[in-house]
Amino acid sequence: MEISIEVKNLNKHYGNRIVVNNLNLTVKKGEVFGLLGPNGAGKSTTIDCILGLKSFDNGSVRILGMDPTKERKRLFERVGVQLQSSSYQGNIRIGEICEEMAALYRSPANYDDLLAQFKLDQYQKQPVAKLSGGEKQKLSVLLALIPQPEVLFLDELTTGLDTEARRAVWDVLIDLKEKGLTLFLTSHYMDEVEVLCDRICIINRGHALVTDTVPELIKRSPYQRLEDAYLWVMKEEIAV
Ligand SMILES: Nc1ncnc2c1ncn2[C@@H]1O[C@H](COP(=O)(O)OP(=O)(O)OP(=O)(O)O)[C@@H](O)[C@H]1O
């Protein structure tokens, strides 16, 4: 079994508050892994620590066998990242930002194709600042795909997207998954998690309550839907 992401005993605190509490995660190559939990549970902080964007107290992280704090340049040739708060420079246009991104990589994806898939092609010459919230969100996912990554991190991938746009993003991701992409995502939408994720980890206050496949978690709960099973785990903080 090839491992894409390995997190061991990860801990992080802010002041006297523990935000990531002894987290252990293993994501296999080609797997779609969902990190779930309520607002403030520590999902984004965990992603930032995994990617080496935030320092952590102790623990170890490997992505594709590399240490993100030490091998950042080599790692980001092979890893795509879409973070919750993407900010873009001044008046940059959609076509320009795609071109800038593509220029950073040896074999970038064809961004014209991605723009068409995400229905953003008609905005190529428009400043990013003029896009709607949902369009900006789609653009941030698109930009994360430009490196043709082997591992893709998506933090709240479809927040703010309309139904059609959500489906378009899912379709692109399912297609890439079939080609072997490893995906690490966070989402508050359980329908999305059911469609996309092979395995999930539910965290609260930085602590893992459960790590399992979606069908297994549902089977272990008294419910038939992931949303109910999730609420069941959260309500009792049942460590299953
Ligand atoms: N720079 C910081 N300084 C102090 N506290 C922080 C900082 N960044 C995040 N936190 C706190 O850490 C906790 C975890 O935040 P994080 O953004 O990781 O949660 P999350 O699970 O991604 O939440 P959401 O689902 O709302 O995006 C929150 O309570 C947040 O207020």
Gap between the Cα atoms of 108 and 215, Å rounded: 36
pLDDT band for position 83 (50/70/90)? confident
Residues 40-76 pLDDT 10s: 999 999 999 999 999 999 999 999 999 999 998 899 9
pLDDT surpasses 80 at 238: no
pLDDT for the residue numbered 219: 95
Please tell me the residue having the least CA distance from ligand 1 atom 25. 39
Q: Calculate how far, in angstroms, residue 205's C-alpha sits from the geometric centre of ligand 1.
A: 10
Residue 8 corresponds to which amino acid? K
Average of per-residue pLDDT values in the chain: 92
| pTM summary value | 0.93
Report the DSSP pairing between strands 32-36 and 182-186.
parallel
Exposure letters 150-173 (e unless 16+ CB within 10 A, then b): bbbbbbbbbeebeeebbebbbebb
Q: Is 178 exposed, middle or buried (0-12, 13-18, 19+ CB in 10 A)?
A: exposed
User: What percentage of residues in the chain have a pLDDT greater than 70?
Assistant: 97
Amino acid 103 reads A
| Residue bearing the CA closest to ligand 1, atom 3 | 14
d(CA 119, ligand 1 centre) in Å: 32
pLDDT at residue number 169 = 86
Q: Could you tell me the pLDDT band of residue 239, with boundaries at 50, 70 and 90?
A: low
pLDDT tens-digit series, residues 14-35: 999 999 999 999 999 999 999 9
**Distance, CA 210 to ligand 1 centroid (Å)?**
20
d(CA 27, CA 2): 9
